Amino acid sequence: MITKKCQQCGKNFQVYPYRKNAKFCSQVCCGNWKSENTTGVNNPHYKEKIIKKCKNCGKTFTTFPSTSNRKFCSMVCWKDFIKVKAIKCKYCGKTFQPPEKGRKFCSHECYEKWETGQTYHYKSPVKKVCPVCGKVFFVAPYKAEKICYCSRKCLGEWRAENIRGKNHPCYILGLDRKYPLEFDSHLKEQIRFRDHYKCQVCGCPQIENRRALDVHHKDYDKKNCDWDNLISLCQSCHVRTNSNRKYWKTYFKGVLDEDLCT
């Protein structure tokens, strides 16, 4: 044991050799010494205070660098600053203290009197003629450029006549879109039964599809109705196969190879 002298109380105390750098006999003496010698300027982390000006009263105050964003000298000034100032009523001119920001009238009666005397610029509806049925109808000005038909029925009739064949955005030159007679409901039901009434891409069962599964041609040739070329798909997956056909042909070819192996 090593005998040492406490720097705070002067008392001798013994410590083990591994605590030869101990300076105090107890934590109480250590705390008392730090409170007397490491406060204020003597603290190694001491930083001088910053002088700032109160945003509300204009009084100067000091604050530590850690709170340099402080703008008010006290909570009283802060509450007084955020308090809504008294304003004049927009109708009668009376000065009043609003309960919240954005208030412009001292009472509901003043607001109603002011509202009665206001005039609004009303935009009249635009007159249009339906190109399908020739019916005259009116639409709001902001819809005048978009709406051309009086109803969905007329819009559907126009699309049926004009967006078809070569005018259709999904038209493919030389592709025969007519199905052969053998591609009937009986063949489709057989394909669904073979695939256990499940989508062969995502595995969705026909019950969750809320409609009969679609039967898709893997090579996109509608005349090729071989069983190996047909596959059951849900509505969502069938829509996806209408784009990027090169990828789906390769994908379905891999599915066909797995079926042959099993």
User: Which pLDDT belongs to residue 257?
Assistant: 53
This prediction has a pTM of 0.35
E strands, 17-56, are 50-53
Q: Is the pLDDT of residue 262 over 50?
A: no
For residue 193, what are its two tokens?
A: 């039964």
Rounded CA-CA distance 83/76 in Å is 11
Average confidence score pLDDT of the chain: 86
Q: Cα–Cα distances in Å, from 125 out to 49, 121, 142?
A: 67, 13, 9
Residues shown for the chain: 262
Largest CA distance in the chain: 113
Q: Is the pLDDT of residue 128 over 70?
A: yes
Tally helices (H) and strands (E) across the chain.
8, 10
**Mean per-residue pLDDT, 233-259:** 83
Give pLDDT tens digits for 41-78.
Answer: 777 777 888 899 998 899 999 988 888 889 999 999 98
Q: Is the pLDDT of residue 152 over 70?
A: yes
Give 241's contacts (C-beta < 8 A, 6+ positions apart). 216, 233, 248
CA 90 remoteness from chain centre: 39
Among 217, 169, 156, CA closest to 191:
217
Rounded CA-CA distance 10/184 in Å is 107
User: Which residues sit opposite 5 in a β-bridge?
Assistant: 12
Single-letter amino acid code for the residue at 2: I
Q: Name the percent of the chain lying above pLDDT 70.
A: 94
Residue 255 banded pLDDT, cuts 50, 70, 90: low
User: Which pLDDT belongs to residue 136?
Assistant: 94
**Mean per-residue pLDDT, 187-200:** 94
Rounded CA-CA distance 27/33 in Å is 10
Q: Is the pLDDT of residue 259 over 60?
A: no
Residue 165 banded pLDDT, cuts 50, 70, 90: confident
